[in-house]
């Protein structure tokens, strides 16, 4: 037998070749070529496969399998799950060739496969380099470059999504800290991108896989509960659907019905948002009715199907969603309703046609198949144009851009109208200012208010679907810092920041001169390096902000003097005011001003293998999530080399790790050492006399736990309270929660995450 030893793996070469060919045949099976070019297209795909196989012939993945299996899987996802064509499949097969070989250059790819394939491969190669970068400060900038590449040809990001999906499916072979980094950036950036491009199946799988590696115990617990309830759910669905199927068949509809389980991530989100256990999530599954009807009958057929469903089951009025009349920005169309079944359970029903279903599943790619059928096909292209516009005009830092863009990716929409009746789609929560900036930057900058539905309102008024808006302007109006807090769209934020930056630039020189005067009075050297050091001491993100505050009078001699440590101040006070021969250098001040060690050295272990310098003895516990021994934790390296310990599930930590993923340091609790850590419990229930006294006695006397504070509010016999306690571990906390749950009147006890007041874990 043809066997070979490669590293740690004993390889059966013959079996591998068979598996590779099977995978290639699978690609050809799922690909749907155009009949008039089938022969030429198949030849090109075959050639791309051969080039990729040759380039990767000596390479293996972390799992030990031949590397060529990865581009084959990516190409299969592009063809089968996204519905892309020949050009994208060829690019998917070749997407790592330029990066991983010295044999093939970009010019070779262009010569063999044409300029389009070469351009996509070049974009994918650049993206790969961005996400493999080791410089921690570069990650947010990398996202910006990714957006720039995506805006040139959307196929680049579609193939990148396929690449990320396969990497997530095989993430188990990576190191733990690498898994967390990849999972965090997947949930932060790639899942929302898939959502915005209409790839709901891929979006859900990316979210589920991200949860699997960031919250493995939570993920597995929900999976087990979903599997345990599967048989009962199937019986219930069959009974629920029986009368609907009967009428649809009698009326001659060609249809299919799917029973789709809600994604694990969506179930977990609802449990957190509603503070409920799994058993109380009523929409764990949804019924999807897909009608096969001609285009001109789509709307009437869907509404007739809705009437059939609601003839048998009473709908929940506030859960009706009509995305057929006004589709989502990514082209999604369907009717959604939630109805009460005969068994007393709410059931979500989705009604769509075959065309709508394909667009829902394959998103942007499916729009090409139905090009010209409807005006809504332009929504995604309009969205991409907005990205291009944003990138072309935004000069702010990359972190702001990505935060704005990520928020926009996941926002729901409202549908509003201009005075002439033109439809505009904005993110939910958008204000009059968002609408104004959507019209023109000058209209936004000069906005003083609006007539909404003929009623005068503030420029900060939040808009609702159906509103008709007339913007009112004044040449005397100009943006302020406050405006940024009152807008939702990336365009509005970018335009406001652009205007503020121009304003700051105008006054910056006056502010700089004022700071130079202050430094002169304090006998501090006024070199550019020292001004940069002063900026760090005063904790300004940019010198422009510091100069502008000085111009406004917000930064005075007193604040600058206070930023300098006491030792330097006493030296300043002894200086002869007429002597300028020796001046303070703030570089030394910065070195002396390092944060005090936390004193927790015996509690956690840090992996010292990192490309970034850090002090493993200098760390602190994050106040946003208050981790306690027993929690899954992750260390995050700060610019000064210190470490902040977050819970792995902390939203702030995920946000930071997704942008600065290479700053992650593997962290775990030591078995030795003990400490009392602060955490907050939310308690809800029915009020009664003596309840608070009983709760306090249980915590202090029975459990011997110190309390920091207790706050209870009662309304009409229902109470809600926050209890802040010091516990030594998650087991300690679980025992306390279990004991409090037995108290007469208490209905719910759970732990809070303080940074957004949402449930982290119900114990």
Active site residues: 99-100
Q: Using an 8 Å Cβ cutoff, are 755 and 685 in contact?
A: no
Q: Using an 8 Å Cβ cutoff, are 550 and 538 in contact?
A: no
Question: Rounded to 5 degrees, what angle do the CA atoms 109, 113, 114 make?
Answer: 95
**Euclidean distance between CA atoms 249 and 308, whole angstroms:** 12
The DSSP string of 361-396 is HHTHHHHHHTTTS-GGGHHHHHHHHHHHHHHHH--S
Q: Which two tokens stand for residue 275?
A: 């503070």
Which ranges in 251-351 belong to alpha helices (H)? 264-274, 298-312
Which residue carries 């970018």 as its tokens? 494
**Euclidean distance between CA atoms 730 and 78, whole angstroms:** 44
State the pairing for strand pair 346-353/285-291.
parallel
Q: Buried (b) or exposed (e) across 301-311, using 16+ Cβ within 10 A?
A: bbebbbebbee
Q: How far is CA 95 from the centre of its chain?
A: 25
The DSSP string of 103-153 is S--HHHHHHHH-HHHHHHHHHHHHHHHHHH---GGGHHHHHHHHHHHHHH-
| 282 sits in which H/E element | none
Give a three-class secondary structure readout of 57-94. CCCECCCCCECCHHHHHHHHHHHHHHCCCHHHHHHHHH
User: Minimal CA–CA distance to 188: which of 151, 127, 140, 156?
Assistant: 140
Q: 276: helix, coil or strand? A: coil
Burial of 415 (0-12, 13-18, 19+ CB in 10 A): middle
Q: Which residues contact 311 (CB under 8 A, 6 or more apart)?
A: 247
Contacts 24+ apart (CB under 8 A), 731-734: 731/630, 732/628, 732/705, 733/628, 733/630, 733/679, 733/763, 734/763
Size of the chain in residues:
763
The DSSP string of 751-762 is EEETTTTEEEE-
Taking the C-alpha atoms of 296, 299, 300 and 304 in order, what is their torsion angle to the nearest 10 degrees? 140
**Euclidean distance between CA atoms 363 and 77, whole angstroms:** 13
Q: Using an 8 Å Cβ cutoff, are 302 and 279 in contact?
A: no
Q: Using an 8 Å Cβ cutoff, are 344 and 313 in contact?
A: no
Q: Buried (b) or exposed (e) across 229-243, using 16+ Cβ within 10 A?
A: beeeeeebbeebbee
Which residue carries 């100009």 as its tokens? 478
Q: Using an 8 Å Cβ cutoff, are 166 and 76 in contact?
A: no
**Euclidean distance between CA atoms 750 and 405, whole angstroms:** 33
Q: Which residues contact 347 (CB under 8 A, 6 or more apart)?
A: 240, 283, 286, 287, 313, 338, 339, 340, 341
Taking the C-alpha atoms of 758, 429, 377 and 75 in order, what is their torsion angle to the nearest 10 degrees? -30
Question: Rounded to 5 degrees, what angle do the CA atoms 371, 375, 381 make?
Answer: 70
Q: How far is CA 714 from the centre of its chain?
A: 37
């Amino acid at each position: 037998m043809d066997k070979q030893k490669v590293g740690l793996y004993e390889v059966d070469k013959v079996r591998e070749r068979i598996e590779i060919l099977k995978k290639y045949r699978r690609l050809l099976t799922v690909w749907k070529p155009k009949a008039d070019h089938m022969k030429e297209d198949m030849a090109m795909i075959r050639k791309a496969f051969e080039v990729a196989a040759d380039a990767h012939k000596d390479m293996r993945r972390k799992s030990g399998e031949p590397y060529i299996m990865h581009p084959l899987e990516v190409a299969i996802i592009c063809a089968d799950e996204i519905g892309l064509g020949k050009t994208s499949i060829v690019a998917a097969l070749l997407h790592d060739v330029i990066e991983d070989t010295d044999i093939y250059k970009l010019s070779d790819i262009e010569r063999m496969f044409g300029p389009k394939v070469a351009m996509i491969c070049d974009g994918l190669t650049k993206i790969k380099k961005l996400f493999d970068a080791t410089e921690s400060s570069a990650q947010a900038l990398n996202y910006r470059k990714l957006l720039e590449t995506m805006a040139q040809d959307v196929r680049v990001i579609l193939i990148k999504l396929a690449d990320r999906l396969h990497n997530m499916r095989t993430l188990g072979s990576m190191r733990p800290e690498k898994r967390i980094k990849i999972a965090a950036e997947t949930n932060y950036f790639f899942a929302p991108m898939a959502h915005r491009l209409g790839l709901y199946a891929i979006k859900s799988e990316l979210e589920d896989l991200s949860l699997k590696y960031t919250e493995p115990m939570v993920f597995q617990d929900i999976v087990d509960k979903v599997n345990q309830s599967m048989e009962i759910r199937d019986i219930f669905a069959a009974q629920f659907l029986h009368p609907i199927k009967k009428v649809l068949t009698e009326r001659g509809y060609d249809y299919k019905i799917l029973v789709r389980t809600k994604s694990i991530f969506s179930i977990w989100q609802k449990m957190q948002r509603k503070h409920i256990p799994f058993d109380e999530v009523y929409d764990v599954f949804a019924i999807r009715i897909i009608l096969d009807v001609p285009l001109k009958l789509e709307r009437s057929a869907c509404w007739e199907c809705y009437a059939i469903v609601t003839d048998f089951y009473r709908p929940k009025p506030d859960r009706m969603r009509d995305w057929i009349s006004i589709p989502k920005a990514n082209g999604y169309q369907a009717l959604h309703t939630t109805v009460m079944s005969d068994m007393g359970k709410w059931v979500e029903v989705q009604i769509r046609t075959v065309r709508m279903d394909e667009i829902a599943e394959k998103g942007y790619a499916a729009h090409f198949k139905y090009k010209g059928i409807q005006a809504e096909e332009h929504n995604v292209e309009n969205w991409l144009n907005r990205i291009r516009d944003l990138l072309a005009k935004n000069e702010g830092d990359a972190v702001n851009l990505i935060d704005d863009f990520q928020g926009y990716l996941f926002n729901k929409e409202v549908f509003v109208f201009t005075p002439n009746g033109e439809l505009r789609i904005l993110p939910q929560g958008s204000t009059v200012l968002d609408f104004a900036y959507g019209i023109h930057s000058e209209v936004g900058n000069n906005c003083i208010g609006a007539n909404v539905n003929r009623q005068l309102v503030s420029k900060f008024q939040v808009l609702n679907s159906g509103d008709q808006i007339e913007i009112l302007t004044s040449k005397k109006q100009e943006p302020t810092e406050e405006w940024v807090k009152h807008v939702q769209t990336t365009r509005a934020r970018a335009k406001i920041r652009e205007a503020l930056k121009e304003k700051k630039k105008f006054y910056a020189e006056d502010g700089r001169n004022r700071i130079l005067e202050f430094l002169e009075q304090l006998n501090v050297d006024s070199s550019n390096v020292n001004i940069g050091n002063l900026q760090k001491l005063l904790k300004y993100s940019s010198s422009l902000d510091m100069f502008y505050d000085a111009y406004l009078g917000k930064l005075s001699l007193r604040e600058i003097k206070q930023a300098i440590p006491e030792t330097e101040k006493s030296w300043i006070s002894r200086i002869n005011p007429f002597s300028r021969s020796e001046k303070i250098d703030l570089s030394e001040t910065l070195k002396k001003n390092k944060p005090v060690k936390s004193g927790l050295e015996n509690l956690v272990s840090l992996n010292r293998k990192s490309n970034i310098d850090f002090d493993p003895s200098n760390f602190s516990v994050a106040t946003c999530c208050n981790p306690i021994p027993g929690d899954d934790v992750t260390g995050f390296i700060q610019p000064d080399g210190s470490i902040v310990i977050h819970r792995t599930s902390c939203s702030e930590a995920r946000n930071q790790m997704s942008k600065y993923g290479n700053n992650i340091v593997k962290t775990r609790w030591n078995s030795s050492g003990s400490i009392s850590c602060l955490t907050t419990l939310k308690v809800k229930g029915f009020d009664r006399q003596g309840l608070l006294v009983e709760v306090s006695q249980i915590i202090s006397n029975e459990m011997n736990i110190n309390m920091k504070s207790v706050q209870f509010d009662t309304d009409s016999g229902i109470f809600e309270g926050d209890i802040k306690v010091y516990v030594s571990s998650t087991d300690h906390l679980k025992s306390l929660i279990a004991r409090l749950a037995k108290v007469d009147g208490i209905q719910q006890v759970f732990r809070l995450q303080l940074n957004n007041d949402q449930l982290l874990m119900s114990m």
